[in-house]
Amino acid sequence: MPIRAFILPLLVGPLLVALLLAGAGSCKAAGRPGEEGREAEARELLEKAEEGAKRGQYRKAWNTFKLLSKEYADTPAGQRAASRAGESGFLCASDLLRHGPSRNRVDVVVMGEGFTLDQQDDFDTLSKVVLRNFPRSEVFEEYFAYHNFIRANLHSAESGVDGHNRTYDTALDARLSGGIQGQVAVSRQRVHAMLAELPEHDQLAIAFVKNGNLGTGGGGVASVGGRSPKTMIHEWGHAFASLMDEYSSNTGHRGQVENGPNVARTEDPDQVPWKHWLERRVSGVGIYQGAAGRPQGAWKPTNNCIMDVGVDFCPICREAIVLEIYRLVDPIEGCRPAPHDASSDPITIDMTRSVRELEPVEFQVEILTPASHGLLVCWWVLPEEQAPPFSELDLDRSSKDRRVRGPLRPIEERPRQRSHRTGQRSVSFEVDPRDFDPGRYLVVCRVTDTARPRGAKVPWVLSDPAGVLQAERSWRLHLQQ
């Protein structure tokens, strides 16, 4: 045998080991890019699955979530997928109807309870009834454009409602409420866990329970069994505006009667929550015994409300709903230029220039538009020392609750421009520097909803203690000499 036959393995062996070691070192050095590539791959698969779910490919999306949770368990995308890969849970969310940005709308999230993966198409069809049912109520028809409707697809391992010594594996843990056949409730904790999957929400949801005929509501969540428009609107009244039952049929012991917007524990006209409606002597509004599931010991303002046996909300409940809408929604959608606060640099105009060179300054606001009536838009140009403080602009914008601002301070001066706008979203106002002496001014725009739709004999809101029906934007103007 040639000598090279013995020498070659002796040379190749150490060389191969060296190459393998070098390769291992190279792989170790490149470990982090590898992890980043793995995460990017998982993220891409997750995004495709989520988009597929939004297009109705529910089982395919769920299978991908399952795969990601196993094969990419060490990545953030895999961990996110794992939360959706259970036997019951969240699949996706998509817009049913969007009227504007979530930051300035009432976001109503529609969920399905007890719908399996193969029944998601049924829920998709059912979810659309919300868009038909809401405008059946006069108040929601008038302020329909103030709402967004978002569908959240949840899948349940089983279809059923806990009760009668049986339990089911469902997304929202639906159960019979109070032992009454068909009256269903869902777990608010589960609802909020599903809402947390959305980028923005108002902690408000309507949950359609596949099995059951009646519903419950409160604390931002309406549980609805069946497809009755009246049931949905009634339960939404509980959930959204904290309205109370006005029916008088005995529904068992409920504890002590508590005052609510539409229920009183006294018949004293000076003590009922709707006292201001009595003072206006509005037709049909009074003090009627029988409410809150009791024939006696509780009183209501009318005998014809959907919180009882009526077909729509009474004036007192309608007022509470309008105020709640404006708690979350600012009637001013935007403005140009950007509004000022106390620390902003003013808009400065050199008054020493030729008169011909002085151009008017335009201010503009974008306002929301109820269905049948216009908002009142008023403009002032006030000497800075006479102007109200920048109360609205100094708010903590992390909260949507507009009540924290409190009512705006009255302005005694007559506005320079005053108009009602119906269906017109953009309203402009020009300030001509030639009309003013040099000095510092505040340009103020206030938009007010008079809450008086077409045909209304009295405004829908008679008392607005927090001033939520009014909004303001201000700009500082320095006419410099």
Position 415 scores a pLDDT of 96
Distance separating alpha carbons of residues 72 and 37, to the nearest angstrom: 12
User: Regarding predicted confidence, which is higher, 138 or 293?
Assistant: 138
Q: Does residue 24 have a pLDDT over 70?
A: no
Contact between 143 and 325 under an 8 Å Cβ cutoff? The reply is yes
Q: Does residue 459 have a pLDDT over 80?
A: yes
224-236 burial, b at 16+ Cβ within 10 Å, e below that, comes to bbbebbebbbbbb
pLDDT digits 0-9 by tens, 199-213: 999 999 999 999 877
Contact between 217 and 183 under an 8 Å Cβ cutoff? The reply is no
Question: What is the average per-residue pLDDT within 418-427?
Answer: 86
Choose from 14-18, 163-167, 345-349 the range with maximum mean pLDDT. 345-349
Question: For all residues of the chain together, what is the average pLDDT?
Answer: 89
Distance separating alpha carbons of residues 310 and 206, to the nearest angstrom: 21
Q: Does residue 242 have a pLDDT over 90?
A: yes
Looking at the chain, the number of H-run helices and the number of E-run strands are 11, 18
DSSP letter at 340 equals P
Q: Does residue 10 have a pLDDT over 80?
A: no
Considering the domain delimited by 330-480, tell me its CATH architecture: Sandwich (2.60)
The first and second tokens of residue 319, run together, are: 């007022």
Question: What is the average per-residue pLDDT within 372-400?
Answer: 78
Distance separating alpha carbons of residues 333 and 346, to the nearest angstrom: 22
Question: What is the average per-residue pLDDT within 128-144?
Answer: 97
User: Regarding predicted confidence, which is higher, 91 or 2?
Assistant: 91
How many CB atoms are located within 10 Å of the residue 62 CB?
23
Percent of the chain with pLDDT over 70: 89
Contact between 291 and 244 under an 8 Å Cβ cutoff? The reply is yes
The first and second tokens of residue 86, run together, are: 């259970």
User: Which has the minimum average pLDDT: 90-99, 243-252, 314-323?
Assistant: 243-252
Domain boundaries, the chain: 243-312, 330-480
Contacts with 376 (C-beta within 8 Å, 6 or more apart), sequence order = 418, 419, 420, 447, 448, 449, 450
How many CB atoms are located within 10 Å of the residue 163 CB?
19
Position 171 scores a pLDDT of 97
User: Which has the minimum average pLDDT: 181-185, 222-226, 412-416, 418-422?
Assistant: 181-185
Question: Treating both helix axes as pointing N-terminal to C-terminal, what angle do 58-71 and 31-54 enclose, rounded to 10 degrees?
Answer: 160
The first and second tokens of residue 104, run together, are: 């300035």
User: Regarding predicted confidence, which is higher, 10 or 305?
Assistant: 305
Question: What is the average per-residue pLDDT within 314-329?
Answer: 98
Q: Does residue 472 have a pLDDT over 90?
A: yes
pLDDT digits 0-9 by tens, 148-194: 999 999 999 999 899 888 999 999 999 988 655 568 999 999 999 99
The first and second tokens of residue 394, run together, are: 């100094």
DSSP string covering 374-416, please?
PEEEEEEEEEGGGSPP-TTTTS-TT---GGGG-PPPP--SPPS
The first and second tokens of residue 248, run together, are: 């008088």
User: Which has the minimum average pLDDT: 60-74, 285-299, 350-364?
Assistant: 350-364
Position 87 scores a pLDDT of 94
Distance separating alpha carbons of residues 435 and 25, to the nearest angstrom: 78
